[in-house]
Chain A
Amino acid sequence: MSRFSALVLLMTALTAGLPAQAAEEEPAPVYEIVGDEIHSGDNGDWIPQGWSGEFSLGGAGVALSRPSFKFGEYTGIEGAGGYAVANGEFRYFKQDRTFDLYLDNLGLDNRKVALDYGKMGQYKVFGQWDQTPHLLFSENRTPYQGTGGSRLTLPASFTRQPSFEGIPLPASNPVALKVDSRNEAEVGLQREIGRNRFDVSFNRIEKNGIRSLGGTIGNSPGNGMGIVLPAPIDFHTNEVRAAFSHTRDNAHLQIHYFGSFFDNRQDSLVFDVPYTGLLPFIDNMNPVALGPIPAQGRLSLEPDNQFHQMRLTGAWDPSTDTRLTATAEYGMALQNNTLFPLAVGTGRALLPRQTAEAEIHNLLLQLRATTSITPRLKITGKLRRFQTDNRTPRQLFQPIVNDTGTQRPISSDQSVFTFPVEYSKNQGDLDLSYQLLDATVLKLDYRLLHTNRDFRAIDNSFENRVSLGATSNELEWVSVTANLSFARTDTDGYNFENVRALRNTAQFLGSPAGPLLASPADFRKKDLAENNRYQTALNLSFFPTETLTLGLSHHWVLQDFTEQALGLKEVTTHSATIDINHTAGDAATHYLFFTYDVNQVSQTGRAHNFLAPGSINDPNRNYALLLDDDSYTAGAGGNWLLFDERVNVRADYSLSKNVSDFIFNAGSDPFVANPAGLPTVKTLRHRVDGSTEYNVSDAMAVGAQVVYENYAFDDFALDTHPAGTVIPASNFPVTNGELITLSNPIQDYEAWTGMLYVTYRFRDR
């Protein structure tokens, strides 16, 4: 802390030595009437020219009750310590030239620098550098060497075991899971020539760090053994944007190109398998077989890809009350990485093709027309088509399960097809907007959305939506926005067997194993199923006095899936907010808000397996889960200018509390009967932020800020399994394998941050 104090003193001394600019109050305008003319006596120089802006320098110290990545999740502050405060904005304007430079958080890992320079109406050049860290987990442990690379090895001293349950893992190393930084740099140019404008920009994004990725060996119903791996993040993306715009009095045309080139420098992760022995695995339709656990496994990481997009947008105003806009957009996502062998350590001769040849094209056509039929009635029509065209070859691949099993040629009974999934959405909208009074608008919308999907259990779905809305600012003391909508999604029939038929060969489906691997016939996937969706929204703002605003809002959404017996049944969300804002001129502002959110998800399932014949149709094996997720969010604070605006005091408090309960009900079958709830998932976060700034002069201010934050998080999935331990195998319904963890529970913390800084403001005339 002594270095920190010295830094603050140095900053203060340096800044105090800067010349303070005394800005006298401008004299009141002087009128002079000569004949019929008024003269203001002003020289016409009404706009300040030259430099203006401010910069702040200082230091901050952080005290944490214990290190927790959640405290510095996006700022990069990993523990107690200090950092420099350095922010600034420098603006220049002279006649038609502008220059802006913005500096943010230079002393932290989430720093940003942005600048632009231009001549108005002619050109602008700009650039920025933006850094964003993302801490993912702290206090992680792994037995592996070589973290951050594409090859994870176990030390020679590591003894492989058939199971580590009850056996301490030797030599577990600490490893930090985080995106060290997401660096984005951008440069660009805008050029205007008459009615034409050219834009071009280039940006490069680099993401480096380590994340967690599940690595598994074996497969259900055998002992799927697993270990969570530290996987590299080594992403590099170059992007180009170019646009040409032409504007006429009543028309506008723009052509836009976007190219994105993603390069992952680590295309796979090969890891030593910590387990040894024999492992049962299922080889698709074959009975369970025993095989040796392989020495290594390989995960594919995200492949390199390219995306090219051309967009043509046109707008035409045939009259002052009518506007037509049209957009045509064509995009291509391409990926052609060399494919890995089916199992680590083998060749690629048995692959049906050597490279991915993956290609998805997308097309958007959109036409919108809006016109005022009468001065008060406006009608808007929209036709829209968005489609994807997946040109990736559909081929049979031999299923080698997690590097176990024997690599064999493609066979008609054991292989599965890839799905080059694609879809299209055709949409028609008709909106009527009627200006009832000067500041009251009523709105009626109708939408028809037809979605067509390939390789899904439903080919076509149709959504009909009607919504009513109103906005009124008619009365001085109240402003109202209300919306009510209903949407119904119908389908042309659900048939999951179609998908299985496309996925598998006829020989497999005709085998004894085929029907056993199906889902219950009365189950629906949530993104496809028929449903009703009701939605209301109400926002009220009252203005009892000129300085006070009282806001009330309520949002409610109910989506029910009444036609299905199993799957998602109902989702309900409520959000109610009260807001109070008070402004007493520039001297004081106060605010208070409270939001109560409820999110309830009801879903059902059936615990079936082929060890109990007929269980797939047995309602006694049904169970229901209700997620009751309540959130309480509050904030309060104010800003006060005191002592003739010499002192600026600010205080903010925020609270976020989330409570998620999981409540089960089940049928009478002993397999599911008498279920027990899961522990509540909870978050509680308080934050108090107070600051004081003293204006030493018009040009200089000194400030102090104190932030207190208290965070607590409970999650049963993490809390029961600390880093580097083993989640034991379960014998329900049959043994499933154990898992070696990597990440620790999320650490609760209390944090104090103190900050001292000096701000210098400047302004030429």
Chain B
Amino acid sequence: MGSRFLLLWVLGLICLLPSKSGAGSLPWGELQADLRGAPSIADSGNPEDETECLLCHKPYIEKFSTTRHAQVLAASHPGKLGSACETCHGPLGRHLKNMLAEKKKSPNSVQSKPGFVFSFKNSPAASKNRVCLQCHESAERVLLWRGSLHDNLGISCDKCHVVSQRRSRQHLLASRDPKKVCFQCHRDKRSKMMRTSHMPLREGKMTCSSCHNPHGGNGPNLLNESSINLTCFTCHQEKRGPFVWEHMPVRENCANCHDPHGSNFRPLLKQKLPFLCQQCHMQVFHPGDLYDGRKLGGTSRLGGKSCINCHSQVHGSNHPAGAKFQR
């Protein structure tokens, strides 16, 4: 199976090789209807007066100027605001020419909308994303964006990131609290994090991106790491082992037993003990017994830590006599 898989892997790569190469500059003319025929930035003439954008957009630029984006663009285009604006809004030549004509007609007008500029308000998600990917596609966490779950669903970058003003400390997120960005869509996770057993997301010590890469990761469910367990081990290194005695479903998937987003059963368990264990253990005597209300108070298998009162090494034991995870 392994060799067949590798062959498919290589064949897939060869078959998908296209006939031409070279992505080149962003073709602005393809992104928005009124930009058709617009040249690439490299071919366009820069605005003559580098402060012209401030004439109409000063309030916007003032807010934008406090962002890291603004600082990066200011550093890469020193003294050239117009060039900085062109990075995301496309060639401004026709926009300024049109505006100039409007201003000549009505010098005090600030309401005219000359167009011929790439707008993030009404553009398709794919077009908006291509603007952002000009610079960000080579970033480690964005490398796998294209073809990822969120990309294929048509999610645009500005659903989560706001570049026009500084709302968050880092990453230009739409909210100061990174969780709230994800909660825009993942509302069921918001309620799970309010459960009594929870990781410290409410307290701000973790964020969703501590485990997930919303731009596309190497793991399942947009996880940062290539498996669920490798993701958990980034904080829980002590659980990594490997152990002499392995608990088989634990080695494969921590989420077989735990719900990392929150639970009513500590610690983050999917079902109350001992019933969680009974989903896999039905051997003779106590694994298979019925633990109902009649036994409450009279057996350690319902009280305290339940099964873990005795089988405390449930994540794996390194003791030579730890076959039943009691040592």
- The answer to whether A and B come from one shared complex is yes
Q: With A527-B249, A605-B288 given, is the CB distance from A677 to B13 under 8 Å? A: no
Shortest CB distance A144–B (Å):
16
Please name all residues of chain B whose beta carbon is closer than 8 Å to the beta carbon of A235 when the two chains form the complex. 237-238
Q: With A74-B203, A343-B321, A610-B284 given, is the CB distance from A679 to B243 under 8 Å? A: no
Q: Which of B223-251 contact A (CB under 8 A)?
A: 226-227, 230, 233, 237-246, 248-249, 251
Q: Which of A398-413 contact B (CB under 8 A)?
A: 398-403
Shortest CB distance B311–A (Å):
7
Task: Type the 1/0 row for B304-321, where 1 means its CB is closer than 8 Å to any CB of A.
Answer: 111011111100011111
Shortest CB distance A483–B (Å):
8
Q: Is A183 an interface residue, CB under 8 A from the partner?
A: no
- Report the nearest A residue to B48, measured CB to CB: A37
- Report the nearest B residue to A553, measured CB to CB: B187
Q: Is B191 an interface residue, CB under 8 A from the partner?
A: yes
Q: Point out the residue from A360, A443, A662 that lies within 8 Å of B272, measured CB to CB.
A: A662
Q: With A40-B49, A247-B138 given, is the CB distance from A402 to B284 under 8 Å? A: no
Docked-complex contact B152 and A678, CB < 8 angstroms: no
- B: residues with CB less than 8 A from A are 1-2, 5-6, 8-9, 12-13, 16-18, 20-24, 27, 48-52, 54-56, 58, 61-62, 65-66, 68, 70-72, 74-76, 78-79, 81, 99-100, 103-104, 107-108, 124-126, 137-138, 140, 143-144, 146-147, 151-155, 169, 185, 187-188, 190-192, 194-196, 200, 202-205, 218, 226-227, 230, 233, 237-246, 248-249, 251-253, 256, 264-265, 270-273, 275, 278-286, 288-290, 292-306, 308-313, 317-324, 326-327
Chain A interface SS verdict (over half): strand
Please name all residues of chain A whose beta carbon is closer than 8 Å to the beta carbon of B297 when the two chains form the complex. 720-721, 727-728
Q: Which of A232-273 contact B (CB under 8 A)?
A: 235, 237, 243, 245, 247, 249-250, 252, 254, 260, 262, 264, 268
- With most chain A CB atoms within 10 A of its CB, the pick from B81, B99, B238 is B238
Q: Is A716 an interface residue, CB under 8 A from the partner?
A: yes
Docked-complex contact A595 and B191, CB < 8 angstroms: yes
Please name all residues of chain A whose beta carbon is closer than 8 Å to the beta carbon of B76 when the two chains form the complex. 120-121
Q: Is A736 an interface residue, CB under 8 A from the partner?
A: yes
Complex alpha-carbon distance, A156 and B320, angstroms? 31
Please name all residues of chain B whose beta carbon is closer than 8 Å to the beta carbon of A520 when the two chains form the complex. 282, 288
Docked-complex contact B147 and A369, CB < 8 angstroms: yes
Please name all residues of chain B whose beta carbon is closer than 8 Å to the beta carbon of A339 when the two chains form the complex. 244, 318-320
Q: With A216-B310, A298-B319, A728-B298 given, is the CB distance from A577 to B124 under 8 Å? A: no
Shortest CB distance B9–A (Å):
5
Complex alpha-carbon distance, A692 and B138, angstroms? 44
Docked-complex contact A452 and B1, CB < 8 angstroms: yes
Q: Point out the residue from B9, B252, B293, B324 that lies within 8 Å of A678, measured CB to CB.
A: B293
Q: Is A455 an interface residue, CB under 8 A from the partner?
A: yes
Docked-complex contact B241 and A335, CB < 8 angstroms: yes
Docked-complex contact B107 and A31, CB < 8 angstroms: yes
Docked-complex contact B20 and A318, CB < 8 angstroms: yes
Please name all residues of chain A whose beta carbon is closer than 8 Å to the beta carbon of B265 when the two chains form the complex. 660, 681
Q: With A47-B65, A228-B305, A299-B327 given, is the CB distance from A40 to B279 under 8 Å? A: no
Q: Point out the residue from B5, B100, B280 that lies within 8 Å of A38, measured CB to CB.
A: B100
Docked-complex contact B249 and A358, CB < 8 angstroms: no
Please name all residues of chain B whose beta carbon is closer than 8 Å to the beta carbon of A333 when the two chains form the complex. 240-242
Docked-complex contact B24 and A320, CB < 8 angstroms: yes
Chain B interface SS verdict (over half): loop
Please name all residues of chain B whose beta carbon is closer than 8 Å to the beta carbon of A121 when the two chains form the complex. 75-76
Q: Point out the residue from B6, B65, B281, B304 that lies within 8 Å of A46, measured CB to CB.
A: B65
Docked-complex contact B296 and A720, CB < 8 angstroms: yes
Q: Which of A352-403 contact B (CB under 8 A)?
A: 356, 358-360, 362, 364-371, 378, 380-383, 385-388, 390, 392, 397-403
Q: With A300-B327, A339-B320, A525-B279 given, is the CB distance from A382 to B147 under 8 Å? A: yes
Please name all residues of chain A whose beta carbon is closer than 8 Å to the beta carbon of B306 when the two chains form the complex. 717
Q: Point out the residue from B147, B249, B304 that lies within 8 Å of A323, measured CB to CB.
A: B147
Q: With A221-B285, A579-B187, A595-B188 given, is the CB distance from A527 to B280 under 8 Å? A: yes
- Report the nearest A residue to B55, measured CB to CB: A40
Docked-complex contact A386 and B226, CB < 8 angstroms: yes
- Report the nearest B residue to A317, measured CB to CB: B23
Docked-complex contact B238 and A262, CB < 8 angstroms: yes
Shortest CB distance A485–B (Å):
12
Docked-complex contact B195 and A342, CB < 8 angstroms: no
What are 5 A-to-B residue pairs whose CB atoms are below 8 Å? A31-B108, A362-B230, A366-B218, A367-B9, A435-B154
Q: With A213-B312, A631-B264 given, is the CB distance from A386 to B21 under 8 Å? A: no
Docked-complex contact A664 and B318, CB < 8 angstroms: no
Docked-complex contact A38 and B49, CB < 8 angstroms: yes
Docked-complex contact B323 and A47, CB < 8 angstroms: no
Docked-complex contact A568 and B279, CB < 8 angstroms: yes
Q: Is A606 an interface residue, CB under 8 A from the partner?
A: yes
Shortest CB distance B247–A (Å):
9
Please name all residues of chain B whose beta carbon is closer than 8 Å to the beta carbon of A237 when the two chains form the complex. 237
- Report the nearest A residue to B189, measured CB to CB: A575
Docked-complex contact A629 and B264, CB < 8 angstroms: yes
Please name all residues of chain A whose beta carbon is closer than 8 Å to the beta carbon of B238 when the two chains form the complex. 235, 262, 264, 302
Please name all residues of chain B whose beta carbon is closer than 8 Å to the beta carbon of A142 when the two chains form the complex. none
Docked-complex contact B308 and A214, CB < 8 angstroms: yes
Complex alpha-carbon distance, A267 and B71, angstroms? 51
Shortest CB distance A167–B (Å):
17
Q: Is A106 an interface residue, CB under 8 A from the partner?
A: no
- Report the nearest B residue to A516, measured CB to CB: B284
Q: Is A741 an interface residue, CB under 8 A from the partner?
A: yes
Please name all residues of chain A whose beta carbon is closer than 8 Å to the beta carbon of B326 when the two chains form the complex. 216, 219, 401-402
Task: Type the 1/0 row for A200-221, where 1 means its CB is closer than 8 Å to any CB of B.
Answer: 0000010000001111100111
Q: Point out the residue from A250, A341, A356 that lies within 8 Å of B318, measured CB to CB.
A: A356
Shortest CB distance B267–A (Å):
9
Task: Type the 1/0 row for A510-524, where 1 means its CB is closer than 8 Å to any CB of B.
Answer: 000000111110010
Docked-complex contact A214 and B305, CB < 8 angstroms: yes
Docked-complex contact B239 and A214, CB < 8 angstroms: no
Question: Which stretch from A7-15, A93-101, A487-495, A752-760 is at the chain B interface?
Answer: A93-101
Q: Point out the residue from B18, B27, B124, B194 that lies within 8 Å of A656, measured CB to CB.
A: B194
Q: Which of A1-59 contact B (CB under 8 A)?
A: 26, 28-29, 31, 33, 36-40, 42-44, 46-48, 52
- Report the nearest A residue to B180, measured CB to CB: A591
Please name all residues of chain B whose beta carbon is closer than 8 Å to the beta carbon of A610 when the two chains form the complex. 284
Please name all residues of chain B whose beta carbon is closer than 8 Å to the beta carbon of A705 when the two chains form the complex. none
Q: With A319-B20, A527-B249 given, is the CB distance from A381 to B12 under 8 Å? A: yes
Shortest CB distance A575–B (Å):
4
Docked-complex contact B304 and A441, CB < 8 angstroms: no
Complex alpha-carbon distance, A18 and B263, angstroms? 47
Q: Is A676 an interface residue, CB under 8 A from the partner?
A: yes
Task: Type the 1/0 row for A327-356, where 1 means its CB is closer than 8 Å to any CB of B.
Answer: 101010111010111110000000100001
Complex alpha-carbon distance, A93 and B108, angstroms? 34
Docked-complex contact B23 and A733, CB < 8 angstroms: no
Q: Is A526 an interface residue, CB under 8 A from the partner?
A: yes
Docked-complex contact B241 and A732, CB < 8 angstroms: no
Shortest CB distance A154–B (Å):
19
Shortest CB distance A501–B (Å):
15
Docked-complex contact B152 and A337, CB < 8 angstroms: no
Please name all residues of chain A whose beta carbon is closer than 8 Å to the beta carbon of B218 when the two chains form the complex. 311, 327, 329, 364, 366
Docked-complex contact B49 and A39, CB < 8 angstroms: yes
Known contacts A219-B326, A383-B12, then 5 further A-B pairs from the complex at CB < 8 Å, ordered by chain A residue:
A318-B18, A401-B321, A481-B153, A727-B304, A738-B300
- Report the nearest B residue to A307, measured CB to CB: B240
Complex alpha-carbon distance, A526 and B249, angstroms? 10
Q: Is A601 an interface residue, CB under 8 A from the partner?
A: yes
Complex alpha-carbon distance, A33 and B100, angstroms? 9
Shortest CB distance B140–A (Å):
6
Please name all residues of chain A whose beta carbon is closer than 8 Å to the beta carbon of B318 when the two chains form the complex. 300, 302-303, 335, 337, 339, 356, 358
Docked-complex contact B152 and A380, CB < 8 angstroms: yes
Please name all residues of chain A whose beta carbon is closer than 8 Å to the beta carbon of B6 when the two chains form the complex. 365, 385
Please name all residues of chain A whose beta carbon is closer than 8 Å to the beta carbon of B292 when the two chains form the complex. 623, 664, 666, 675-678
